[in-house]
């Protein structure tokens, strides 16, 4: 049972071999991006259960759709790296690899004898990428961290939500996702540099670092003004109108462009509020932001008089950036999303049709694409050992009998769900 196009892919990373030891979200997300770009990503999972994400719902026929969403197109092998024979087998695979990825707590790979120094000594062209909560250095390196921890410690949650309300977590796991994105970028940069030097290197990505890196305006405001940025709801800290507005049947989002003076006048005219144009409190975006408390109720009263479709139709004629505030169901079913082929369905051998987000990487000749389903646990063990190391089927069977590898199995989801 093997993913289609598992080794022969036309993407820009075709020919790049990746051993992916990551689990749950940050690391698997990074590896999925590289897989979408054509790399052969071999997910190395620990027997007998594999990636814990396989036990995360929702499920179809006991297959995790969460796992599918961040592991599509990969291959899965199962090797016990705690055994000497398993480590030796993995080291032989490292000899054939371009990239090794891991997101364990710092030091775990070193304890296994598989840390970056050991692997780079063995394969000097290797890129060894580590994604962790706090990075490989610093006083907190040994502390575990999950998405919400770095969001909280990185300040993101302090500027999310509404004033005078409890902290809010953004609706997606940006602590993990940003760590995954930066990991992919770091790996691509190291592979590019290797073309000149002929040498690999280690990539050290801290999820907390990534949260600091994406604060942009908040960091600039803090160091410039000395005041703590806080939550503003859907508002922008320095531009107005730039937020969600209630309508007769829902919500819309409007963001007047900087430097286009006529947009404010046109916006007020269509809302039936021409008197606002001559009001010196609202002459500029800066003044409108300063006087937002007086302006917002007036705008809300006007926008509630018509439907979202009405306002989108009318205001978009003037080039005013505007759109509906969609639910997830509405978002994934938009005609623009269909035109960009951002939703795709793959056939899974157990779960059947699995629908998921596609790759947003639209390269003109070698675009990102979904190469197949998230692998069944251990499904590619025999094939990868044969293709990479010329290990015959009989030897793989012997290794499986000794408990070094698994070619089938995985978590007992039914037992897990009934626990």
Cβ contact 385:356 at 8 Å: no
User: What residues does 100 pair with on adjacent strands?
Assistant: 19, 128
Residue 20 to residue 224: CA distance in whole angstroms: 42
Q: What Å distances lie between residue 187 and 128, 158, 204, 330, CA to CA?
A: 8, 31, 10, 35
Six-digit token pair at 379?
A: 């499904």
DSSP string, 96-155: T-SEEEE-SSTTHHHHTT-SHHHHHHH-TT-EEEEEESS-SSSTTTTS---HHHHHHHTT
Cβ contact 228:244 at 8 Å: no
Please state, as a whole number, how many other Cβ atoms lie within 10 Å of the Cβ of residue 331: 12
Beta-carbon contacts of residue 307 (< 8 Å; ≥ 6 apart):
247, 248, 249, 250
Asked if 310 is an active-site residue, the reply is: no
Q: Identify which of 253, 248, 249 has the alpha carbon closest to the alpha carbon of residue 324.
A: 253
Q: Residue 386 gets which letter from DSSP? A: H
Task: Count the alpha carbons within 13 Å of 45 in the hemisphere toward its beta carbon.
Answer: 34
Residue 181 to residue 192: CA distance in whole angstroms: 17
Q: Identify which of 176, 299, 310, 309 has the alpha carbon closest to the alpha carbon of residue 234.
A: 299
Residue 357 to residue 371: CA distance in whole angstroms: 13
* Options 8, 49, 196, 236, the catalytic residue: 236
Q: What Å distances lie between residue 169 and 148, 153, 206, 363, CA to CA?
A: 7, 12, 19, 33
Cβ contact 33:187 at 8 Å: no
Residue 98 to residue 170: CA distance in whole angstroms: 35
Six-digit token pair at 297?
A: 């109720």
Residue 33 to residue 368: CA distance in whole angstroms: 8
Which residues are part of the catalytic machinery? Answer: 236
């Amino acid at each position: 049972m093997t993913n289609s196009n598992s080794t022969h892919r036309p993407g820009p990373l075709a020919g790049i071999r990746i051993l992916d030891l990551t689990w749950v979200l940050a690391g698997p997300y990074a590896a999925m991006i590289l897989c979408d770009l054509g790399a052969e990503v071999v997910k190395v999972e620990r027997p007998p259960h594999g990636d814990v994400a396989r036990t995360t719902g929702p499920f179809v026929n006991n297959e995790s759709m969460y796992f599918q969403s961040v592991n599509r197109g990969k291959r899965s092998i199962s090797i016990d790296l705690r055994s000497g024979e398993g480590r030796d087998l993995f080291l032989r695979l490292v000899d054939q690899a371009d990239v090794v990825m891991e997101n364990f707590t710092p030091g775990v790979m070193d304890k296994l004898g598989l840390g970056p120094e050991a692997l780079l000594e063995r394969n000097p062209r290797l890129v060894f990428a580590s994604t962790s909560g706090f990075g490989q250095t610093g006083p907190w390196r040994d502390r575990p961290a999950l998405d919400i921890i770095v969001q909280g410690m990185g300040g993101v949650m302090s500027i999310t939500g509404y004033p005078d309300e409890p902290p809010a977590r953004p609706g997606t796991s940006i602590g993990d996702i940003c760590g995954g994105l930066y990991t992919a970028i770091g790996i691509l940069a190291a592979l590019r540099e290797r073309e000149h030097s002929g040498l690999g290197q280690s990539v050290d990505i801290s999820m907390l670092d990534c949260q600091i890196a994406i604060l942009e305006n908040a960091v600039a405001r803090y160091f410039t003004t000395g005041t703590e940025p806080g939550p503003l709801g859907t508002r922008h800290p320095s531009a107005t109108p730039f937020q969600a507005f209630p309508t007769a049947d829902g919500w819309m989002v409007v963001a007047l462009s900087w430097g286009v003076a006529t947009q404010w006048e046109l916006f007020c005219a269509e809302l039936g509020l021409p008197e606002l144009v001559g009001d010196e409190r609202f002459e500029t975006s800066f003044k409108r932001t300063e006087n937002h408390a007086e302006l917002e109720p007036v705008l809300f009263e006007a926008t509630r008089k018509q439907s979202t479709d009405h306002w989108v139709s009318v205001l978009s004629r003037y080039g005013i950036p505007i759109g509906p505030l969609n639910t997830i169901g509405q978002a994934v079913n938009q005609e623009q999303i269909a035109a960009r082929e951002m939703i795709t369905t793959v056939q899974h051998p157990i779960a059947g049709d699995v629908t998921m987000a596609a790759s947003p990487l639209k390269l003109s000749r070698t675009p990102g694409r979904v190469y197949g389903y998230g692998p069944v646990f251990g499904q590619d063990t025999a094939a990868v050992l044969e293709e990479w190391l010329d290990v015959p089927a009989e030897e793989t069977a012997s290794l499986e009998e000794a408990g070094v590898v698994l070619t089938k199995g995985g978590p007992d989801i039914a037992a897990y769900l009934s626990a």
